[in-house]
Structure 1
Amino acid sequence: MQTIDKIAVITIIVLSFTISILVWGTNACGTECLFHVKPQVTNFSWQNKAIGREDRAFLLYFNRPIDRDSIENNLVIEPPLEGKISWSGNKLAYTLDAPAPYGEKYRLFLEAGNQQFAGGEAAGEAIKPFFGQFKTRDRAFAYIGSEGNNQGRLILYNWTKQEKTVLTPDNLVVFDFEPYPQGDRILFSAVAKKQQQDISQLKLYSVTTGVNDNSSPAFNPEIQLVLDSKKYQNNKFDLSQDGKTIVVQRINQNNANDFGLWKITEDLVPQPLETEAVGDFLLTPDSQTLAVAQGEGIALLPLNPDAVPLDFLPQFGRVVTFSTDGMAAAMVNYNTENADLRYTKSLYYVNNQGVQKELLNLEGSIIDCQFNPTATHLYCLLTELKFSNNLTLGQADAEYREQPYLAEINLKTGKTIPLLALPEYHDSELSVAPDGLGVLFDQVLTTNTPVTEANPSDSSSTIIKSRLWLLLPPTNESEVHQVEQLPLIGFHPQWLP
């Protein structure tokens, strides 16, 4: 036999032997058993991530069919996060009951559990222990300073790190702002200090916050011009929940008849929206639709100009707020269609299942409302219309004034609980924490007329004094709400998402 023939025969014998071993091993317990790969977690979707309110579920992937009961009984999260487990093949999904508290570090342990053999028997090999970790974003909020060198400047307070950072220079006066969805930037309107009485010069800017950015120990806010005021005056604006779209109400500086809404996308090129003359407006949480007051109703208009209008709600005159998931909204009916209810306003809960539930009817104003993170309650700033008689020069004069107060509305029971009166303070705003910690609100006393529902914040007024407060909801049925005054001087507080 030639040498080459011998090599060929030996090669055939070796390959046949190897194939036999592979076939036998695969039939016995699969190729993974052959190579001694233990059952284990192959991926954890939140590993080493900083999550926020929008992150409501994580996934665990396994390399083998797993005995589900043994995994569920041994899965541990520290600190605990209440939630529900569901399965899809070798993939476990854990859905949180509520957003995870901010400013925390979490660990996930799976130190026991078994492989699941075909036929449902749980006598397989023990799982390889798994350790995971993740954290939530820093708990932080921004506000506009109202004292000393910080007057009119945008200020960030990082609650987690107990740090205060002034984000804008002293040559700008900030009028309004909205955080971007990741909390890494803030969109704000401002004018130069020397032009602060001229709102026609309002420009839009963005500024970095440094929150959850560990790349550099020394943080310097970076400001970018988003929209100038050379040709158009910029008024109210709204930022989409995905952070990709800004809608601004603009008026031509030289032609008051040229006014309307403009859209700015990530390319920062403003484009006019083809809509009718509008009043108040809000972007919906899906970031694709605009809720606009038109005539005696609310129009739902797609941002895509080629799409047809989605709906018109003639019974409502204003959208106050949306729930974070976009499934519900709080709306106002001014009761113009009912002579018996004339001069009153009704607050309604409206959801995507067709429910329209009246929550309250009042003669005062509905200044602002926000849902809590799980959309089970509404927190509202309302006013009560007070009547008093004043004796002036011997004659009785009737006087009406609006008394602001903070209220909580249970959306399941419909019960409204007045929480706190705000005497003498006319301009107030609230912000509900994304993790449900509490409600930030301010008390602002200004020199001009009291707040009205149509214009809850008069930018031309002079602030006499302002305070920031935190309302903490009860932790169980036996406790009451707690109110704490914060050692910060400013107004317009907004939690970062």
Structure 2
Amino acid sequence: MTKSKAFIQPLDRVAIALMLLLSLLIGLVIWQGDAVKPRVRNFTWQNQQIGSEDVSFTLTFSRPMDTKSVEDNLKIEPPLAGKVSWAGRRMVYTLLTPAPYGTNYKVQLQGAKDQFARKEGKNRGVQAFTGNFRTRDRAILYIGVNPEEQGQLILYNLTQEQKKVLTPKDLIVMDFEPFPDGEKILFSARTSKNQDLLSGQLYTVTTGIASQASEQAQAPGRVDLILDSKDYQNLKFDLSPDGQTIVIQRGNKSNPGEFGLWVMSTVSDTSGEKPTAKPLKSQPGGDFMITPDSKAVAVAQGQGAAILPLVGDASKPLDFLPQFGLVQAFSKDGSQAAMVKFNTDYTRDLFLVTNQGIQKPLLKTTGEILNCQFDPSSPTLYCLLTQLVSKEQYIEQPYLVAIDLKTAQQKPLLVLPIAQRNVQMSLSPDGLGLLFDQVVAQPPTAPVSNSPLKTDDGEAIATSSLWLMPLMPIADTTTVEIKPEKLPLDGFAPHWLP
């Protein structure tokens, strides 16, 4: 008994000491726990680089907060308009417009109170917080025209004023479209020794830009063949907004009358095998565009526009709009589309069509509607149009216009030189700039050109310049005339990087 008693006593002393210590600590926590300042535990954009697809950030707090005091004391520099919503200790700030590119931002919070401080009459403010994030650089893509970069795809970073030639000299790029993360570009090209405009094959090339999902960027200029043209001509293509599907219009070389849409995934299956193109079994169609949800394709078919599913039975359209012959553009959320109606008097009408069934006329032109793009920042549609200035010689004059989608008010932006139909435009992802080119074709009287660069009409390109037009809200009443700026770059087919 004596040995057992002597063995237990030290353990008892240790246990009693621990109990006393824990009781003391608990007492201290209870006594001063309310005095601990609330703090921001997590800021979802901390040290992140965001793009136009990033529309909201979240602040998570350590304690329930007085929401009004947080909203009153939150500062973003430079300012970004937004709206606030709450879910418990989480505050979500949703931007009203995309954040301008090429900008560093600071988020600060100081002086906000927790939920119980005011009720208890205590001056318990949030621990001062500062967060940082930045937007992507302003960058553009174009096809070079100078002899040293003729037909090559070029990436130019406007923010850093840096230029990268992405594709090799032996490929003549004809069309391209960036993936949504900016890491790669999908493009069609033919070899420099082949003048056949229908011999293009599909490739991808890396840009050297890392997405948020990637730990590090791939080296720029790595070209991979995606789809050859051995048995089929690749006529046109479109890349889905999520970057996972390509739709290609192809023609059978051995049977010229056989052509249609093919679908191809950009993601390898679980077995690791390369994706292959498969025909979309539907009626032949004309121009086409993948819908914003990446699940269907809008295609000019017969006397109207059909919406065909990319998975399932494409012979049964999801929708058919008989009065419209072409979809020019979709809004980012897919709720609106700009559609063209071809009239019997050879004029064209542009309509705004919504998913609520509204069909609103926007304009009529005697020429063509070449391109339209929805502004991500405001209810505005930017369009590149032409109008006939001579019916006898069929001479067209292109011009740029902004259309207020609420009032259908038109605001002319720029009139371009007569007969320059080969203009292409691109609206920046933050809605603050419009790119366009001015292509100069070889005159008909000039000697036959060996230039590998051709317009969509098959004319040889002599040279081309790139222009940037800053944009202001259409409702702005200032009388300041905005003039485009000529960029120190020679090329055509400009396109903003997402």
TM-score (norm 1): 0.87
Identify the residue that residue 464 of structure 1 maps to in structure 2.
Answer: 462
Identify the residue that residue 354 of structure 2 maps to in structure 1.
Answer: 351
Is 1:274 aligned to residue 275 of structure 2? no
Identify the residue that residue 325 of structure 1 maps to in structure 2.
Answer: 333
Identify the residue that residue 453 of structure 1 maps to in structure 2.
Answer: none
Deviations 1:34-61 (A, max 9, x none): 8x86411111111111100011111001
Q: Report the Cα distance in structure 1 between the residues aligned to 2:279 and 2:218, rounded to whole angstroms.
A: 40
287, 297, 304: which one aligns with 1:297: 304
Is 1:316 aligned to residue 324 of structure 2? yes
TM-score (norm 2): 0.87
Identity %: 49
Q: Report the Cα distance in structure 2 between the residues aligned to 1:294 and 1:217, rounded to whole angstroms.
A: 41
- Unaligned ranges ≥5, structure 1: 337-341, 389-397, 450-455
Identify the residue that residue 495 of structure 1 maps to in structure 2.
Answer: 496
Deviations 1:165-188 (A, max 9, x none): 211111110100011112221111
Q: Report the Cα distance in structure 2 between the residues aligned to 1:95 and 1:415, rounded to whole angstroms.
A: 29
Maintained 8 Å contact 2:117/2:123: no
Is 1:334 aligned to residue 342 of structure 2? yes
412, 435, 438: which one aligns with 2:406: 412
Deviations 1:286-325 (A, max 9, x none): 1111111111111112211258642111111100011222
Distance apart, 1:106 and its partner CA: 1.2
Is 1:253 aligned to residue 253 of structure 2? yes
Identify the residue that residue 435 of structure 1 maps to in structure 2.
Answer: 430
Distance apart, 1:474 and its partner CA: 3.4
Q: Report the Cα distance in structure 1 between the residues aligned to 2:152 and 2:121, rounded to whole angstroms.
A: 63
Q: Report the Cα distance in structure 2 between the residues aligned to 1:300 and 1:263, rounded to whole angstroms.
A: 15
Q: Report the Cα distance in structure 2 between the residues aligned to 1:278 and 1:122, rounded to whole angstroms.
A: 71
Aligned to 2:125, the other structure's residue is in SS state coil
The more displaced of 277-286 and 466-475 is 466-475
Aligned to 1:461, the other structure's residue is in SS state coil
Maintained 8 Å contact 2:469/2:483: yes
Q: Report the Cα distance in structure 2 between the residues aligned to 1:120 and 1:328, rounded to whole angstroms.
A: 48
Distance apart, 1:198 and its partner CA: 1.3
Maintained 8 Å contact 1:250/1:259: yes
Q: Report the Cα distance in structure 1 between the residues aligned to 2:282 and 2:216, rounded to whole angstroms.
A: 45
Identify the residue that residue 483 of structure 1 maps to in structure 2.
Answer: 484
Q: Report the Cα distance in structure 1 between the residues aligned to 2:365 and 2:283, rounded to whole angstroms.
A: 30
Amino acid paired to 2:223: I
Distance apart, 1:217 and its partner CA: 11
Amino acid paired to 1:105: N
Q: Report the Cα distance in structure 2 between the residues aligned to 1:369 and 1:174, rounded to whole angstroms.
A: 23
Maintained 8 Å contact 1:426/1:445: no
Distance apart, 1:124 and its partner CA: 6.1
Amino acid paired to 1:446: A
Is 1:363 aligned to residue 366 of structure 2? yes
Mark the CA change 1:293 to 1:22 in structure 2 (over 3 Å): closer, same or farther: farther
Maintained 8 Å contact 2:99/2:430: yes
Aligned to 1:486, the other structure's residue is in SS state strand
The more displaced of 136-145 and 119-128 is 119-128
Identify the residue that residue 380 of structure 1 maps to in structure 2.
Answer: 383
Amino acid paired to 1:485: K
Maintained 8 Å contact 1:369/1:380: yes
Mark the CA change 1:324 to 1:19 in structure 2 (over 3 Å): closer, same or farther: same
Aligned to 2:175, the other structure's residue is in SS state strand
Maintained 8 Å contact 2:377/2:430: no
Distance apart, 1:400 and its partner CA: 3.1
Q: Report the Cα distance in structure 1 between the residues aligned to 2:321 and 2:62, rounded to whole angstroms.
A: 51
Identify the residue that residue 221 of structure 1 maps to in structure 2.
Answer: 221
Mark the CA change 1:118 to 1:355 in structure 2 (over 3 Å): closer, same or farther: farther
Q: Report the Cα distance in structure 2 between the residues aligned to 1:111 and 1:27, rounded to whole angstroms.
A: 26
Q: Report the Cα distance in structure 2 between the residues aligned to 1:157 and 1:119, rounded to whole angstroms.
A: 54
Q: Report the Cα distance in structure 2 between the residues aligned to 1:125 and 1:216, rounded to whole angstroms.
A: 42
Deviations 1:127-168 (A, max 9, x none): 222221111111000111122122211111100110122111
Distance apart, 1:259 and its partner CA: 2.1
Q: Report the Cα distance in structure 1 between the residues aligned to 2:130 and 2:359, rounded to whole angstroms.
A: 47
Mark the CA change 1:333 to 1:114 in structure 2 (over 3 Å): closer, same or farther: same
Identify the residue that residue 231 of structure 2 maps to in structure 1.
Answer: 231
Q: Report the Cα distance in structure 2 between the residues aligned to 1:153 and 1:426, rounded to whole angstroms.
A: 22
Maintained 8 Å contact 1:77/1:108: yes
Q: Report the Cα distance in structure 1 between the residues aligned to 2:24 and 2:341, rounded to whole angstroms.
A: 77
CA RMSD of aligned residues (A): 2.8
Q: How many residues align?
A: 472
Amino acid paired to 1:294: Q
Distance apart, 1:27 and its partner CA: 7.1
Deviations 1:323-349 (A, max 9, x none): 22222111001135xxxxx32211001
